[in-house]
Amino acid sequence: MTEKTYDVLGIGNAIVDVLAKIEDEFLAEQNLVKGSMTLVDAATATDLYGKIGNAIEASGGSAANTMAGIASLGGRSAFTGKVRDDQLGEIFRHDIRASGVAFDSAAAVDGPSTARCMVMVTPDAQRTMATYLGAAVDLRPNDIDADLVAASEVTYLEGYLWDAPPAKDAFLRAARIAHEAGNKVSLTLSDSFCVDRHRESFLELVRDHVDLLFANEAEITSLYQVEVFDDALQAVRGHCQVVVLTRSEKGAVVLSGEEVHVVDAAKVDNVVDTTGAGDLFASGFLHGYTQGKGLYDCARIGAAAAAAIIAHFGARPEVSLQKQLADTMT
Amino acid sequence: MTEKTYDVLGIGNAIVDVLAKIEDEFLAEQNLVKGSMTLVDAATATDLYGKIGNAIEASGGSAANTMAGIASLGGRSAFTGKVRDDQLGEIFRHDIRASGVAFDSAAAVDGPSTARCMVMVTPDAQRTMATYLGAAVDLRPNDIDADLVAASEVTYLEGYLWDAPPAKDAFLRAARIAHEAGNKVSLTLSDSFCVDRHRESFLELVRDHVDLLFANEAEITSLYQVEVFDDALQAVRGHCQVVVLTRSEKGAVVLSGEEVHVVDAAKVDNVVDTTGAGDLFASGFLHGYTQGKGLYDCARIGAAAAAAIIAHFGARPEVSLQKQLADTMT
């Protein structure tokens, strides 16, 4: 490949995460499906925020997390996404730049506030998300910097963008520019409910526009409407140059033409919070890929990056001091 | 004591912390003294923020942390402090309420933004702070709710308030109302540099207005301008009804009339970040005190609460993945 300015350009929702610990009952009360991402409007976001406990804020967004991971691995990454000119937008901009990712998207000067994602972590370390897209839905085709896309070896797109029609058009424009420049286009399916919302479009995308596809088990079985992982694997074979299927603790499967690799998950002694596992798997894989590694090694680096992130909590684990100090206080 | 609505009312700066890991060299480059709190203006805050890495945001403020700790221990606490009607102000309000602390101070509708404290944590787990007070300096005497002060068994004030003249007047008004209602007034000296800035006022306060004094070793030796801890101990004896002197891993000393207790620090296997240790010691002590415990037990609960908080990192420990995955990537 020719030498490009960036290894990977990520295009996605620019989001600040609001992380809080919750109990399983809370999800049931709020009609939230564990492990999924639900889109909420401003009023619902405010209502839900009023019900969750003490939280911490940290920059997030799926593709943005992946780009930060690539930079942390020593790769050259850039990001395109839309924030508002508010305090959360400044936080997003600061953090992604401080992580070493190039980020020059202009902030919206009016309209909804910067996107927020309430990340609710249950005691089993699973995360359930409720996202208020806010300014992120205003990503439009003219926010795509054609020179930046052309200068990036891989353009990585998150499926979540499909939830906002102008962002979807931005997505397609970026894919076209990337291919015209001889670069690769990569997509993550993002979430099984997102796949459900946009199945026909995603099937067409995967067949016609995507070179490297990332999906987890729930997403790929949803895409092909099959029950069993192996059926999805057979269905997707040959549709993209490289298909990377992740299966949490069961590891990952990589398909490319006749080539197939089955890679174990990296060992994690203490799973604290699964937030970011998929995003960081993609970081590791794409970093290996743009360094010219073989597909097996790409997946191994992906698995290690995912393991590193799930041993942390996004938020401080706020155990009740009343419980924690029970012995002292008797 | 008569039954009051609240055990403790804290009055202090309403601050959102911005937590980041840094190296020791960074402090030297920025002329920051390790372990201290420096006040910075808006321009310096922006400059410093531009230089620190990926950060997380969490509600903070010394007295506010102490009130959240009391609520977490099962006590009844309230807080008075000034935020702006901006996103960080909303975060502060959400978090302190979600922690179980009553908080009804009106937000400023104009003027500077909600206060931010950059908390820079070095590899030895020490924290160094740079605070932009913003809206917090607008706490004025008429922000003190006389009924709330009268309804709180203890009114707890942070020395940091002395850095803003109107806040200082608010502080004195609250102390007067508390005493008129037959309640106790408690003060934390906050920081040795803060003591240095306001020594004469603090000496007068301690002698004439404070029932329970909290200070660490650096603060109490600064107050009396002595070199040795024991000299400070002798100097402060008898100046307040109860004096609580904390000494990090050396434990604490409690003085009350002829009564003296020396209490060991609680064991911490892994000191991650000392942010909040003093604040949480005060939570534990005040909670014990308002539950009618003896002074030795109050200090023991304080030590346990401090130990619990320093085993956490305020921010996610963001080790470079490049270093963390070095073995995998060769």
Closest CB to B58: pick one of A56, A86, A266.
A56
How many other C-beta atoms can be found within 10 angstroms of the C-beta atom of residue A30?
18
Q: Is the pTM of this model over 0.80?
A: yes
**Preferred mutation among A316, A319, A330 to probe B, highest tally of B CBs within 10 A:** A316
Instruction: Say if the Cβ atoms of B314 and A317 lie within 8 Å.
Output: no
Identify the CATH number of the domain in which residue B191 sits: 3.40.1190.20
Q: ipTM greater than 0.90, yes or no?
A: no
Please check whether residue A292 lies inside any domain of the structure. yes
* Chain B contacts in chain A segment 61-80 (CB below 8 A): 68-69, 72-74
Q: Please say if the pLDDT value at position A321 is more than 50.
A: no
Instruction: In whole angstroms, give the CA distance from residue B330 to residue B318.
Output: 21
List, for residues A274-312, the tens digit of each pLDDT value.
778 899 999 999 999 999 999 999 999 999 888 888 876
Say if A192 is an interface residue toward chain B (CB within 8 Å): no
Contact criterion met (CB below 8 Å) for B251 and B262: yes
Chain B residues lying within 8 Å of A59, measured CB to CB: 54
List, for residues A216-268, the tens digit of each pLDDT value.
999 999 999 999 999 999 999 989 999 999 998 999 999 999 999 999 988 88
Residue B319: which residues within 8 A CB-CB, separation 6 or more?
Answer: none
Please check whether residue B215 lies inside any domain of the structure. yes
Backbone angles phi, psi at B114, to 5 degrees: -55, 140
Domain span at residue B142 reads 6-12+62-90+136-315
- Specify the pairing of strand A242-246 against strand A184-188: unpaired
Instruction: Say if the Cβ atoms of A73 and B321 lie within 8 Å.
Output: yes
Please check whether residue A32 lies inside any domain of the structure. yes
Please check whether residue A174 lies inside any domain of the structure. yes
Please check whether residue A128 lies inside any domain of the structure. yes
Contact criterion met (CB below 8 Å) for A99 and A116: no
Instruction: In whole angstroms, give the CA distance from residue A67 to residue A299.
Output: 17
How many other C-beta atoms can be found within 10 angstroms of the C-beta atom of residue A47?
12
List, for residues A16-33, the tens digit of each pLDDT value.
999 888 999 999 999 999
Distance from CA of A95 to the nearest CA of B (A): 4
Residue A312 confidence (pLDDT): 66
How many CB pairs lie under 8 A apart between chains A and B? 105
What value, to the nearest 5°, has the Cα angle with vertex A18 and ends A13 and A20? 140
Instruction: In whole angstroms, give the CA distance from residue B280 to residue B302.
Output: 7
Instruction: In whole angstroms, give the CA distance from residue B150 to residue B266.
Output: 34
How many other C-beta atoms can be found within 10 angstroms of the C-beta atom of residue B237?
14
Backbone angles phi, psi at B127, to 5 degrees: -120, 140
Q: Which two tokens stand for residue B320?
A: 């470079």
Please check whether residue A252 lies inside any domain of the structure. yes
Chain B residues lying within 8 Å of A326, measured CB to CB: none
When divided into structural domains, chain A yields a total of 1
Instruction: Say if the Cβ atoms of A304 and B88 lie within 8 Å.
Output: no
**DSSP output for A168-183:** HHHHHHHHHHHHHTT-
Identity of the amino acid at B206: V
What is the mean pLDDT, run by run of 10 residues, along chain B of 330 residues? Answer: 86 94 93 90 95 91 93 93 96 93 96 95 89 93 96 96 87 95 96 90 92 96 96 94 95 95 87 81 94 94 86 39 42
Say if B294 is an interface residue toward chain A (CB within 8 Å): no
Distance from CA of A209 to the nearest CA of B (A): 30
Nearest CA to A268 among A223, A221, A217, A307?
A: A307
Angle separating helix axes B295-310 and B277-290, nearest 10 degrees: 150
Please check whether residue B56 lies inside any domain of the structure. no
Mean pLDDT of all residues belonging to chain A: 89
Please check whether residue B237 lies inside any domain of the structure. yes
